């Protein structure tokens, strides 16, 4: 009788444990399928995400060794992808797995390596942004200088055109004045010659018509 009572009391707990194991197994299968799908698609972000999910799942279940393996694989894939956010997440998961494994020294060493790597990446990004800003500044300055040079060249060209026009006007005026002066001179010369000729003719006629007795 006592055995039956104990069996009845323990049955729900056993069923619950069995159900929990089944749920964990199904969850693990789903994570494995997600990783296989990500690897088939060759999407770096999907691969790293699936590896980190598996590392976190095994760490929470107390399976530290496979969790560490997944975390290291995630870190390698994240580095290959060059994704700073994925690298940070992978380091964080690796440190968490080492802490769960009781490897305080390893976790501390990983944290120091992560900080050094993170600082180098930040410094490199700042240098890159500074270089981009410098290139942009140089390009804008060059464009401004070219624009100013073009304006100055246009001003000089306009000044040369104005001087050329002034010289052309002056030359044309000089020629016109010369022609006018020459015309006046010829007219005066012609009038004078005609007056002299008229005087000679008159003188000749006067002496021809008026004869002495």
| Residue range 186-206: mean pLDDT, rounded | 64
The tens digit of pLDDT for each residue in 100-128 reads 999 999 999 999 999 998 898 888 877 88
Q: Is residue 165 part of a domain?
A: no
Q: Is residue 88 part of a domain?
A: yes
Q: Is residue 168 part of a domain?
A: no
Q: Is residue 142 part of a domain?
A: no
Q: Is residue 130 part of a domain?
A: no
Helices 44-60 and 84-100 pack at an angle, to 10 degrees, of 20
Give the whole-number percent of the chain exceeding pLDDT 90. Answer: 38
Q: Is residue 209 part of a domain?
A: no
Q: Is residue 59 part of a domain?
A: yes
| Residue range 139-155: mean pLDDT, rounded | 82
Q: Is the pLDDT of residue 27 over 90?
A: no
Q: What is the pLDDT of residue 148?
A: 82
Q: What is the pLDDT of residue 16?
A: 47
How many domains does the structure of the chain reveal? 1
Q: Find the domain containing 52 and state its range.
A: 19-102
The tens digit of pLDDT for each residue in 29-71 reads 899 899 999 989 999 999 999 999 999 999 999 999 999 999 9
In this structure, what CATH number is given to the domain that contains residue 89?
Answer: 1.25.40
Q: Is residue 123 part of a domain?
A: no
């Amino acid at each position: 009788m006592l055995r039956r009572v104990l069996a009845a009391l323990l049955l729900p707990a056993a069923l619950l444990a069995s159900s929990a194991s089944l749920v964990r197994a199904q969850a693990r299968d789903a994570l494995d399928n997600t990783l296989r799908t990500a690897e088939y698609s060759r999407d770096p972000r999907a691969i790293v995400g699936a590896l980190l999910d598996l590392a976190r799942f095994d760490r929470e279940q107390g399976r530290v060794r496979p969790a560490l393996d997944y975390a290291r694989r995630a870190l390698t894939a994240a580095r290959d992808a060059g994704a700073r956010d994925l690298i940070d997440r992978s380091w964080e998961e690796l440190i968490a797995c080492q802490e769960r494994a009781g490897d305080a020294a390893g976790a501390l060493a990983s944290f120091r390596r992560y900080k050094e790597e993170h600082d180098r990446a930040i410094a490199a990004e700042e240098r890159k942004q500074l270089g981009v800003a410098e290139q942009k500044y140089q390009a804008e300055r060059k464009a401004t200088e070219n624009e100013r040079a073009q304006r100055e060249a246009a001003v000089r060209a306009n000044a040369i055109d104005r001087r050329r026009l002034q010289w052309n006007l002056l030359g044309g005026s000089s020629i016109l004045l010369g022609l006018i002066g020459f015309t006046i001179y010829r007219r005066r010369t012609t009038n004078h010659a005609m007056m002299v000729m008229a005087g000679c003719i008159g003188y000749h006629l006067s002496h021809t018509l008026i004869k002495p007795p």
